[in-house]
Chains A and B, each alone.
Chain A
Amino acid sequence: MSNKNLSKMAKEKEVRNLSEVTVRFAGDSGDGMQLTGSQFSDTTALVGNDLSTLPDYPAEIRAPSGTVYGVSGFQLHFASTEVYTPGDRPDVLIAMNPAAIKKNIAELKPGGTIIANTDAFDSKNLKLAGYEASPLEDNSLEGFEVFSVPISSLTNKALEESSLGQKEKSRCKNFFALGLMYWLYNRPLEPTLNWIQKKFGKKPEYADANEKALSAGYNFGDITEVFSTRFHVEPAKLPSGVYRSISGNEATALGFLAASIKSKLPLFLGSYPITPASEILQYLSNYKEFGVKTFQAEDEIAGVSSAIGAAFAGNLAITTTSGPGLALKTEAIGLAVMTELPLVIVNVQRGGPSTGLPTKTEQADLLQSIYGRHGESPVAVLAASTPSDCFDMALEASRLALKFMTPVILLTDGYLANGSEPWKIPHAKDLKDITVKFRTEKEGFAPYFRDNNLSLPWTKSGTPGLEHRIGGLEKANITGNVSYDPDNHDLMIRIREQKIKNIVNEIPDLKVDGENEGELLVAGWGGTYGAITESVRNIRQQGYKVSQTHFKYLNPFPGNTADILKRFKKILVPEINRGQLAKILRSEFLIHVIQFNVVRGLPLRTSDIEEKIKEILGGLDNGR
């Protein structure tokens, strides 16, 4: 059938406009769901929708196929308006096998749509998923709109003439599913066709098979009678500029690259692979043309230690990790505090303690980051709020580390790291320079003679005439010689503390979204920004009066924090932990705060936050 005929038939189907949709792709770990999801996201971004994604995959690389714990998912929320979260519950579930339904059905919106690959609903897969009868046939999916599509056999049919083996052919079924979704949501095939050419250009038979499967999926939507309606989501009205889709880990890597250029410092990353932080090391190891040096260390401790050494040699020094790795690095971070060397430690938080939920998100390392070291050991702690914000915060963490000669911990999380969103790309020339001045003058040099910020001079090894020794033993103020003097120790502890406090003069004030005072302020930090923002906006539309603020600077807090907190009668702190920021706000500001804590390894659900807000406000009468 020619394309002309196809488009003619397409016109006969009803097209419905939607303002937003949440789609979840789910299948076996080996089914290529992450690839399918990210292709759909990229294309959706290209057509101008705002979006947010949530990859959700098991820690096992290839868990036994057909099992519930082996299900890999990718959720995507896109809209013609601003999008803040990957969506609480999907409207549409693409289920490549029975396990995908078993795992996800409880989350699907009532009345939601299921597109199921019927070929995978054989007795073996049903048994593996724990079904006695096929859910497609036993009415258990009543209340949902189920589309049964034999995706595997249709893919095979489309690839009849391909020279690939049966196994390779059936691997193309995710592209069939993707093509079908492109038809359903009226998206162009070209971006994915281009991607296939780029990826498989050297293996034309693979490129050809994937292209055919993609087109077959699209055409199937067009000609089948299964689907009578397709959907259209208008482009969002985003600020003008050039955009790309970016994940938190890639944004973090780019932020450090930018910091290196803007500070004119060579970039050194010492790191040990750990989920979900490894990608930052992977991205940065590509930028050799910028002189970036990446050292894949023998362990977490060597990762941070090598970075400390590189800082001593005059590099912009970074180490990246996740919670358990931060625990291993704490002794060395103490050394960086003591020797006052600039260092950025990125903690991409995941579910803990111990190995916990390595591929899931959590915010439970705030206390570890601020307090989790031996001795009085203050460091600056920042947190990124969205995937693209990781770029700004990596730059900011570098700037503060260099200006205050201190370790800075930058907290992101599994959700930010793997999730992506459209990013209005900044021009390199518009990014602010970071001024770094190495000490070179011999005259009046003392290793511990501080500037007005209380920062030490940065005297890198190799500077003539300024040879000196630093180390973990307490140092005498100004001279930097080893000192066991009791009063000197007390003084040095106060100086190190004050230095971190001085950062407050360099960071922006806390902003309030909504009324500047009132009944309720919702205060969050880090990666929950999207969920809190969306719930606050939703609930305002229902007539409630709620204000919102969000912390990106956790130590020190912005200078106006106390002032803002006292202007509200009630403060709600939603967190993906058991109340860590809440605890700090209470102890720092002696205020009452209300906690909202759900620690499921997943982003907070906006509907849950909304309910909590309603409960606090006790109905519209109080909240108006």
Chain B
Amino acid sequence: MADNSGKEQVQVQDKKYTAKDFSTSQDVRWCPGCGDYSILAQVQRTFPEIIGIKKENIVWISGIGCSSRFPYYMETYGFHTIHGRAPAIATGVKIGNPDLSVWIATGDGDLLSIGGNHFIHACRKNIDLKILLFNNRIYGLTKGQYSPTSEKGKITKTTPYGSVDYPFNPISLAIGSEATFIARAIDRDPKHLQLMIKRGADHKGLVFLEIFQNCVIFNDGAFDALSDKNTKDDHVLVLEHGKPMIFGKNKDKGIKLDGLKPVVVDLNNGHSVNDLLVHDESDPGYIRSTILAHLTDDPSMPTPVGVFRQISKPTYDEGIENQITEVKKKKGEGDLEKVLFSGNTWEVS
């Protein structure tokens, strides 16, 4: 059976790639100024450094939406599939050949609306997939309807009087769905985005990286406060493992826990660094990461970026492979003749 299984392929990279090795001949067709350009550039820049495997063993899967054009621009194997189904198709690719490094480019509508079911189950099963959510909080390709991450009251073509539904908090959803690596980055902070891509690439298990991505046409400026030079330091909390949670232009504000309630404290005014919450991304509990996830919903709080949570547990694909190995060890390699002739048989002469 092994003849066609693909197992013989060597995993180790034998030549050093450059960013150019990952770009295709296709014209990139996103709108000028779209945040997707930055994400593509950071992925292409990062991949030569982080992927310890040959590029033929990399597969990009996408669904439908602006972000889902991504595979066409990556010189790896790619599959532009159907709306919402990228995690399900990627699951089959990964189980079908666990040696492949499987990446998903998806958007807030694709992953969290039509594809919500596949997303939560991929997280729950801890399938070794890397999901990059391009979250622009709007439907772009269908020309500007509100999305499941749009803020309540959003005025769009389908909500002329403002949306009345509440948005998902994608990080909280990923925590609740048991993803083992959960992080956030911003398209306009390329260095940090590269770091998060590297961190995700190194993780074994389900990676969920939410990227705040600006849609210049239908939701321009949605993340300005987080990326504008003058405001970002006061609005962004950069999470770093083992470090106290400090933010602000002058590094003089911090997050402290009052019971289970996070509060912003002024370090110039009676509070010391020792009072502050220290980030522990490997905390197996759910409380710290959940508190951090919901800072985003509170306008008086900074928005965290970085790794919210990274824990280690066996992956689904690994589980399948191990079970096969164990059963083979116990029963020996399968024998078709034996299976066909099993059970109650009788002979007619």
Contact = CB atoms under 8 A, between A and B. Distances in A.
Interface size class of A (residues with CB under 8 A): 35 or more
Contacts of A90: none
A35 B99 CA distance: 44
Interface stretch (B70-78, B198-206, B226-234, B277-285): B70-78
A467 B96 contact: no
Contacts of A465: 56
B269 interface: no
A472 B110 CA distance: 15
Interface in B56-96: 56-57, 59, 61, 64, 71-72, 74-82, 85, 88-96
Contact of A308 (B71, B92, B100): B92
Interface of A is mostly: mixed
A470 interface: yes
Given A298-B117, A298-B121, A436-B4, A310 B95 contact: yes
Contacts of A106: none
Interface string A443-473: 0000000000000000011111111111111
A302 B124 CA distance: 14
B26 interface: yes
A77 B100 CA distance: 52
Interface string A126-160: 00000000000000000000000000000000000
Most buried by B among A243, A335, A427, A461: A461
Given A471-B71, A472-B80, A473-B80, A461 B93 contact: yes
Interface stretch (B178-186, B257-265, B325-333): B325-333
A317 B95 CA distance: 11
A268 B324 contact: no
Give the dominant DSSP class at B's interface.
mixed
A313 B100 contact: yes
Contact of B343 (A244, A312, A426, A467): A244
B79 A288 contact: no
A239 B96 CA distance: 41
Interface in B308-349: 320, 323-324, 327-328, 331-334, 336-337, 339-349
Interface in A287-314: 287-291, 293, 295, 297-299, 301-302, 305-314
Contacts of A299: 117
Contacts of B290: none
A465 B342 CA distance: 45
A436 B343 CA distance: 31
A257 B77 contact: no
Given A261-B1, A309-B90, A467-B75, A428 B9 contact: no
A241 B347 CA distance: 6
A268 B96 contact: yes
A212 to B, nearest CB: 23
Nearest to A195: B344
Nearest to B340: A425
Interface stretch (A41-49, A52-60, A220-228): A41-49
Contacts of A469: 24, 71-72, 74, 77-80
A264 B1 contact: yes
Nearest to A459: B77
A261 B117 CA distance: 34
B328 A309 contact: no
A8 interface: no
Contacts of B61: 309
B97 A314 contact: yes
A245 interface: yes
A24 B347 CA distance: 27
A471 B345 CA distance: 48
B56 A466 contact: yes
A429 B79 CA distance: 37
Interface string A237-255: 0111111110000000010
Given A268-B96, A462-B99, 19 more contacts: A45-B346, A243-B345, A243-B347, A244-B344, A257-B339, A258-B336, A266-B96, A293-B96, A298-B118, A306-B88, A306-B95, A310-B92, A312-B59, A462-B56, A462-B57, A465-B56, A467-B56, A467-B75, A471-B72
27 contacts: A241-B347, A241-B348, A242-B348, A243-B347, A244-B342, A257-B336, A261-B336, A265-B4, A268-B95, A289-B324, A290-B333, A293-B96, A298-B121, A301-B85, A302-B91, A305-B82, A306-B88, A306-B89, A310-B96, A314-B5, A462-B56, A462-B97, A467-B76, A467-B78, A471-B72, A472-B64, A481-B26
